[in-house]
């Protein structure tokens, strides 16, 4: 018991007041989602991805690991169509597949061919 009390006296007040950052990544507990892994710091923002195309909506959550149904990036032009996302390949399906506002009729009417080849 006396030995334990003596050991506690060796801990400086500054050490006790300092935030815990065991992995030295500059993010202290409790914000650091894994204080034993310097490659993981504050939990990232995740974006709701309803169609599973890896692009999410503006609805977000923060978590250390990617929650199911969330994507690492926002910007889905149509979160109800897994074939429509930024940079996607335009197809003759009445959907704006590449997110550039061209290609989706939005009315159910026949697709229209544009000068740039998109439908």
Site residues (CB under 5 A) for Ca ion?
A: 23, 25, 32, 34, 40, 49, 51, 53, 55, 76, 78-79, 81, 84-85
Q: Which residue is nearest to Ca ion (CB)?
A: 76
Strand ranges for the chain from DSSP E: 45-48, 60-62, 70-71
CB of 3 to Ca ion, least distance (A): 33
Report CA Rg, the chain.
Answer: 25
Peptide bond into 51 cis (omega under 30): no
CB of 37 to Ca ion, least distance (A): 5
Find out whether 76 and 57 touch, Cβ atoms under 8 Å: yes
CB of 40 to Ca ion, least distance (A): 5
**Cβ-based nearer residue to Ca ion, 78 or 118:** 78
């Amino acid at each position: 018991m006396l030995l334990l009390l003596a050991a506690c006296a060796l801990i400086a007040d500054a050490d006790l007041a300092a935030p815990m950052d065991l992995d030295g990544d500059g993010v202290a507990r409790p914000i650091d989602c894994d204080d034993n892994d310097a490659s993981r710091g504050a939990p990232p923002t995740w974006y709701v991805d309803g169609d599973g195309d890896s692009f999410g909506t503006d609805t977000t959550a923060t978590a250390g690991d990617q929650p199911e149904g969330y994507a690492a990036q926002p910007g889905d032009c149509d979160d109800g169509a897994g074939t429509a996302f930024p940079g996607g390949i335009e197809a003759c399906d009445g959907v704006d597949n590449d997110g550039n506002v061209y290609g989706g009729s939005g009315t159910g009417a026949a697709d229209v061919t544009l000068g740039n080849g998109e439908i």
